Amino acid sequence: MEKDKKKVLIKLSGGALSSGDDKYTEPTLKQTAEKIKNIQEKGFEVALVVGGGNLFRGRDLAGNLSIRRPTADYIGMLATVQNALVLRDYFESQGLVVRVSSAISMPQICESYMPQRARRHLAKGRVVIFAGGTGMPYFTTDTTAAQRALELNCGTLVLAKDGVDGVYSADPKLDSNAYKIDTISASEVLERGLKVADATAISLCRDNQLPIKVVSMNNLDKFEDDNYGTLVLPE
Ligand code: UDP
């Protein structure tokens, strides 16, 4: 089936929601809600995958206190649900209609992931936030974003970065010679080990013809602009 160019999946890292010691920062939430509204006004259906890195990352705890990696990862997945609930209430306060769809069932607090249902929400103009990652340890929310974008037939996966406006040849905070890359293939991202998303997510997009656009959180609604951000082609 051909991908729907008017359907977009945006991956927000947990870290992008936080500022210093604050787990959430209102200016960022407010700006993100506004950008999502702008994107919807251009006729797009908008789905989000949220990470959990501002609260918890499985690998930071795994191995400590006799906690096994899968246990730590489940705790990480729960952190993504917490973020999704915060985003839902905040976005609704800003006039968006939102549904949270979790890979791990918790019927008292959100819907369980059901692709058909998510499609219907999107078609009705609701923002769907996918929480709970893939529901499986050893994966990440980058991979979740690629998988959900593919299953829902999204035309683009947008990776919203905190503080950078695309993919750079090296970390611009550490290397003054780092330059921004406008277009690159997914294979080259993998070969050069560029930090765009984890390798599973990149190869999933490459193997299933899903382009990735890397943008800054501050300019989320410019993802369509050919002169902005970095386009990662599925080749
Ligand atoms: N996680 C997982 N499986 C998934 C998605 C996430 O086990 O499918 C866990 C993993 O421990 C990860 C944490 O949830 O560290 C938070 O997700 P992620 O690191 O992707 O969040 P981000 O860095 O994007 O905020």
What is the per-residue pLDDT across 81-112, written as a single tens digit (0 to 9) for each?
A: 999 999 999 999 999 999 999 999 999 999 99
- How far, in Å, CA of 1 to CA of 152, rounded? 11
Pocket test for ligand 1, best of 13, 80, 143 (most atoms within 8 A of CB): 80
Confidence of residue 57 (pLDDT cuts 50, 70, 90): confident
Q: What count of other Cβ atoms lies within 10 Å of the Cβ of residue 43?
A: 8
Q: How far is CA 52 from CA 23, 37, 131, 153, 187, in A?
A: 10, 23, 9, 24, 27
Domains of the chain and any CATH numbers: 4-233 (3.40.1160.10)
Nearest CA to ligand 1 atom 3: 139
Torsion of CA 59, 63, 67, 72, to 10 degrees: 10
- pLDDT category at 171 given cuts 50, 70, 90 is confident
57 CA distance to ligand 1 centroid (A)?
6
- How far apart CA 60 and CA 77 sit, in angstroms, is 13
